[in-house]
Amino acid sequence: MVWSKMKQILESFICPGLVGRVEYRATGYRYMPGKAAQCYITVDKKEVFNMSDGAASIRWYQTEQEIKSDPDVKIPLSEEDIEKVRKETGGTVPEERLAVIARSRKIADYAKEVMAAQAALSKSNFQSAANDFLSGSIEESLESGDILLNVFALVDRRVGKKRILGMEDKMKLKHPIVQYFYELRRSTM
């Protein structure tokens, strides 16, 4: 499918509160076959997401330690997580340290997921992800590990207010760009 048609279809799915604010853009160089086209997303005419640009306004993490030390990263901790650490340590660790260990492990897992997602994203194809979104179900896109599919689904008009509000805990564990679009969508409600 040609980009202009794909863009038109993608933008037809944007929820009413974000129409005109969120735009999908692409640059192509017809006379420079060696130069790859770039696709990016703008919000209020400001580029916020470009797969190949680390300088976009959404923070891209460089190391696992940055993620671990970022105070804005909030990882929900359940009693099951603490119990798992308790069983692994055989009850030899003081109770107050169990939560610290469990949180540390969970943040490390989250950091690895974010870094893997960013590595995969820089290699992915925007148009391929758009085709997957258009041919798949909205539920698959919301549950997917693909950042672009999550973004497309979050701004989609088929995702209602109740579903958006019910996804708050899941969004805390998603990539920062997905969290940004989640907050953007919530702000329109």
Q: Which helix (H) or strand (E) segment is 47 a member of?
A: strand 46-50
Angle, vertex CA 42, rays to CA 133 and CA 56, nearest 5: 105
pLDDT reported for residue 123: 41
Q: Is 189 exposed, middle or buried (0-12, 13-18, 19+ CB in 10 A)?
A: exposed
pTM above 0.75, yes or no: no
The answer to which of 31-45, 85-99, 131-145 has the lowest mean pLDDT is: 31-45
**pLDDT tens-place string over residues 31-83:** 555 555 577 788 998 888 776 544 444 555 666 677 777 777 777 888 888 88
The answer to which of 54-63, 145-154, 176-185 has the lowest mean pLDDT is: 54-63
Q: Which of 32-36, 59-63, 103-107, 125-129 has the highest mean predicted lDDT (pLDDT)?
A: 103-107
Residue 144: partners with Cβ closer than 8 Å, 6 or more residues away: 150, 153
Mean pLDDT for the chain overall: 80
Residue 116's pLDDT band, with cuts at 50, 70 and 90, is low
- Could you count the other beta carbons within 10 Å of the beta carbon of residue 162? 8
pLDDT reported for residue 51: 65
* Domain range list for the chain: 55-189
Residue 166 sits at φ, ψ, to 5 deg, of: -80, -5
pLDDT reported for residue 139: 92
Q: Which helix (H) or strand (E) segment is 134 a member of?
A: helix 126-135
Q: Which amino acid is at 177?
A: I
Residue 109 has pLDDT above 90, yes or no: no
